[in-house]
Structure 1
Amino acid sequence: MKKEKKTSSILSNLLIKLAIVLMVLLIGSYARVRWDFSKNKAYSLSQVSKDAVSNLQDNMVVKLYSSKELPAAMLILDRYVKDLLEEYKQAGKGKFHYEVINGPSPEDLKNKALQYGVGAMYFRIFENDKTTTKEVIYGLVFEYQGNFESMNVLPKMQNQLEYQMTLKIQKITRYTLPDITAFVDTLYTLMPRQKYENELYSNYNVHFTNLLEPPPKTHVMIVHSGYDSLSITQLYNLDQFLMQGGKLVVLADKIFSDGETVMEIHSNLFDFLENNGIKLSSDIAMDIFCDSRQMGVDTNISFPIYPVLRGSQHPITRNMSNIIIYMGNGIIFNRKPGLKFQTILATSTRSALLEGPDYQLDSRLFFNPDPDVFVNPPIPLGAIVEGRMESYFKEKPQFQRSDFVSEVKDGKIVIFGDRELYVDPDKPIYENRYQIILNAVDWLMGREDMINIRSRHLQESILDIAYYMHKNNLLWGDPAKTERRIKMEVKIIATLLPSLILIAVGGIISLHRKRTKEFKNEEI
């Protein structure tokens, strides 16, 4: 009798637990609840993305054109794309829809995708005991009120996928973008800047100015400085933009190079900056962690005058890396009363200076950088100056107009010591460096949500050797060769260690059995 009651009790408990599990699964299928325990909610849709789809006036349809069989390199990305689409759908209040299009045949899929601007990708894969090339279609098409925007989704794009998708949604829905002003001169028009400008227009409603007239009264102005001094009119209009409450993002350095010689330039913009607490060094900042180029089969040439930087803990540069600076100048705070200075971007503790006005660089540093040369502390190449600022024209009444403002109590300037920070780099690894300019603009406007999705995943893994060496200021010979050697050692250890562990465990078990057997024999 007791046995029957016990069996009945066990079955009852089992049925209750099974019912609870089924109920949770049923509720979950409708609620679609997801928990994100990652750092900074890296896999949750940000508020700015939710806002972009929560106020849709009409239905939006997103079509994912995808080959049926994806290579292994695309599987994690594919899962992430579909998770994001599901989150956009939940935030869209019934007006955001998506569908996956796989066929009916690979050729039909390719033709349909090409009509919308989604191109093919090619992967080298190992299949049927041989290496072959596989053509893959994978991209998104956003359709809204008769218009469409397309987007190729590429491997390793997971870092900025939400950011790029939200930009497309904002563009096609004519989302109201914030207004900013941008000062440009002739130099800007001569530089390759397509990627920078595309993203600039996607994020802001940009009003370009030459400062010959008072600029639009926007919250922020980006100052793309050139080689020459500004006219008095231009400098006055820039000064009054700041005095009347506008914030500045300034790109400036003191170096001009024609490829053969390096010269220091002189501009009244530097006097204006110094009046507001900022002095630019005439020396070129160098770092042992720098760009390198391969020459021939096995020769790497280092360019210490092109330091490669990692961001700080400040939102403008946080989580960002591979920020290359082309012959930048250090930023010095002249400790003007009423102002605060904060470094947001700097070289490593293995830094050096190429001193002007001669700028003589030892050619040996290109082939085998001597660690003993790079002994300077970090050199600031990005900084924020804020506080009470006085007009550059305060003591120049002859230039003052009727609406002249002599000071501002909460002035803010974000400055980077590289005039060409917006220029498209020639290496894909550096292609996102200009985004610190956009981050600076958004920080000054209080749009930190946009900063978070733009640079959310850009930081390398802590297992990345170059990142680990840089973070801990370690230098073991040539960084590139050291990285290759350590990776090879790790591969060898990872291959041999499991076998060695199995052999060791087997030996211990065998020894234990042998001793147990001997002990039993002794008892007999």
Structure 2
Amino acid sequence: WVNLFPSSQRSISSTDLNNAEATMEYSFVRSLDKLLNQQVKAIAYAVGNGEPTGDEITDLRQTVASAEYRMLPFDLTKFPYVPKEANVLLVVKPSTEFTEAEKLKIDQYVMNGGKVLMFIDNLFAEQDSLTIKSQLVAYDRNLNLGDLLFNYGVRINADLVMDLQCDFLPFAVGGTAEAPQYEFLKWNYFPLFETPNNHQINKNLGLVAGRYVNSIDTVEAENIRKTYLLQSSSNSRSISTPALISPNENRNTAEDALFKRNGIPVAVLLEGAFSSLYKNRIGRAQQDSLAQAGGFKEQSDKNGKLIVVSDGDMVLNDVSAKQGPLQMGMNLYTAGSKYQAPVANGNFLLNCLEYLTSKETIISTRNKEIVLRLLNTKKVEAEKSKWQLINIALPIVLVILFGIIYQRLRRYRFAS
């Protein structure tokens, strides 16, 4: 079956209609392709470097499975290479340092045509820490991925993005220690990112929620095309580390004048012919370990693809004591309240996987701009009664008038 309107919201806006219309062709083509090509695509979920494996990836598993992908854990620390049968290597929020041997496996997977999707937290800054302490200091995780990503053309900065377009958290604003009074206030470290609508991945996509996100820069890399996929709003800023984070920041009015930056990038797509970081650096022992995978390669083909997102929490879910695991991107504190923000984290993840694994002809059908010519709502409201009268009463009057004229003509005809 084909879902032509993928939304569970009761109210439908003109934007929702535009998005549904624009993706209709893509939905049909994608469904037909699945019927003709029923091979299940495999995703290798990297473990071994502190990646989450518990309840926080419940929705990640379900979202991936709903799109008919098969996701299996892959331990980079134990296997000599990433198998070519894996369509995508998914790296989500690692917390421990990558060794050179592990980076070589990722590098050679890319050189052999593998696609990589990374959600990386460059800094340690966890919301749980603020529930225990009154403040925290964000510091570098020392993942040792900087040189690998830099070689491919991207750099994750050691900073935090703050945005006035953000999610809410409850803060104690009064009361006593025994009975504090809470109020929902904006928390600038939980940005709601906009999409530039410049690519098939982010076309017709809503807001994407992030938490303690780093900014991204691109650097010069030969034969590599870079496309920003997510960015901050026009009222944002970034602060460098070491950064002191405290709930006290929200007890006073935010200094909006500081939020002057526009479009800070936090996700980037890299495409092209990648060069190996380990070119002219690999030893004999490392070459032997890669022999089973076809040997060491210095460069990938021109169809290499890599997506880097500077937020590891973007595809993780909160866990509620009552409801269990929530949807990815949904805020535990605002879920079910008027402050809950509609987010498209799951759709962003699926669009990334779709682009990395699908045929170019299929994914290109997403890249369409269709504008529905909707009625002027103000004019409709002002002239509502007039048009109701014209559309309901006028046809009845015309039928009656026609009947009277017909009867008169009939009588005149037979009388004569």
Give the TM-score, by structure 1 length.
0.53
Give 1:236 deviation, angstroms. 1.6
- Which amino acid counterpart does residue 444 of structure 1 have in structure 2? L
Matched with 2:166 is 290
Which amino acid is 1:239 matched to?
D
Counterpart contact for 2:125–2:212, Cα < 8 Å: no
Q: 5+ residue gaps in structure 2?
A: 1-17, 131-135, 174-180, 289-294, 318-329, 387-416
1:308 and 2:201 correspond: no
Q: Is residue 332 from structure 1 mapped to residue 217 from structure 2 by the alignment?
A: yes
Q: Is the 8 A contact 2:163 2:259 kept in 1?
A: yes
Map 1:397-408 onto structure 2 (within 5 A). 397-398=282-283, 400-402=286-288, 403-408=295-300
Instruction: Report the counterpart of residue 47 of structure 1 in structure 2.
Output: 29
Q: Where in structure 2 are the equivalents of 1:104-503 lying within 5 Å?
A: 175-185=38-48, 186-190=50-54, 192-202=56-66, 203-211=68-76, 212-213=78-79, 214-217=81-84, 218-258=86-126, 259-260=129-130, 261=136, 262-293=138-169, 299-313=183-197, 314-360=199-245, 363-365=248-250, 368-398=253-283, 400-402=286-288, 403-410=295-302, 411-424=304-317, 425-426=330-331, 427=335, 429-430=341-342, 432-447=344-359
Tell me: CA distance 1:453–1:194, structure 2 relative to 1, closer, same or farther (3 Å).
Answer: farther
Q: Does the CA contact (< 8 Å) of 2:200 and 2:366 recur in 1?
A: no
Aligned residues of 1:309 and 1:322 also touching (Cα < 8 A)? yes
> Bigger CA drift: 189-198 or 277-286?
189-198
Alignment-mate amino acid for residue 47 of structure 1: V
Deviation per CA, 1:78-105: give whole Å up to 9, x if none. Answer: xxxxxxxxxxxxxxxxxxxxxxxxxxxx
| Deviation digits for residues 320-379 of structure 1 (CA, Å, limit 9, x no counterpart) | 223111111111111123322211110012110122113356844565333211001211
Q: Higher Cα Rg: structure 1 or 2?
A: 1
Aligned position for 1:19: none
Q: Is the 8 A contact 1:181 1:222 kept in 2?
A: yes
C-alpha separation in 1, matches of 2:204 and 2:45? 26
Provide closer, same or farther for how the CA distance between residues 450 and 293 of structure 1 changes in structure 2, counting only shifts above 3 A. Answer: farther
Amino acid paired to 1:338: N
SS for the counterpart of 1:188 is: coil
Equivalent position SS for 1:420: helix
RMSD: 3.9
Contact 2:119 2:314 in 1 (8 A): yes
Identity of aligned residues (%): 19
CA offsets 1:245-287 (integer angstroms, 9 cap, x no match) = 1111111121112424222211112221112111111110111
Answer yes or no: is the 8 Å Cα contact 1:442–1:450 preserved in 2.
Answer: no
Shift in CA distance, 455/191, structure 1 to aligned 2, threshold 3 Å: farther
The secondary structure found in structure 1 opposite 2:216 is strand
Q: Aligned-pair distance for 1:437?
A: 2.1
Closer/same/farther in 2, CA of residues 204 and 454 from structure 1, 3 Å limit: farther
- The structure-2 alpha-carbon separation of the partners of 1:181 and 1:494, relative to structure 1 and needing over 3 Å to count, comes to same
CA 1:406/1:225 → structure 2, altered by over 3 Å: closer, same or farther? farther
Tell me what 1:159 maps to.
Answer: none
How big is each residue's C-alpha offset from its partner over 1:207-250, in whole Å with a ceiling of 9 and x where there is no partner?
Answer: 32112311221332112241111233322211110111111111
- 1:406 counterpart letter in structure 2: E
CA distance in 1, matches of 2:145, 2:30: 36
- Residue 316 (structure 1) shift: 1.0
Greater RCO (Cα-Cα under 8 Å, separation 6 or more): 2
Pair 38,271 (structure 1): closer, same or farther in 2 beyond 3 Å: closer
Name the structure where helix makes up a greater proportion of residues. Answer: 1
TM-score, normalisation: structure 2? 0.66
Q: CA offsets, 1:1-33, max 9 Å, x none?
A: xxxxxxxxxxxxxxxxxxxxxxxxxxxxxxxxx
Matched letter for residue 272 of structure 1: L
CA distance in structure 2 between the aligned counterparts of 1:222 and 1:298, rounded to whole angstroms: 39
Partner secondary structure for residue 434 of structure 1: helix
* Cα distance change, pair 378–432 in 1 and its aligned pair in 2 (3 A): closer
In the alignment, the residues of structure 2 paired with residue 328 and residue 274 of structure 1 have an alpha-carbon distance, to the nearest angstrom, of 18
**Counterparts in 2 of 1:370 and 1:220: CA distance versus 1, 3 Å:** same
For 1:400, the aligned partner's letter is Q
Alignment-mate amino acid for residue 437 of structure 1: L
Distance 2:205 2:109 in 1: 30
Residues 256, 456 of structure 1: alpha-carbon distance in 2 compared, 3 angstrom cutoff = farther
| Contact preservation (8 Å) 1:354, 1:360 | no
Q: 3-state SS of the aligned residue for 2:308? A: strand
CA distance in 2: counterparts of 1:351 and 1:452, whole angstroms: 32
CA contact (8 A) 1:263 1:357 kept: yes
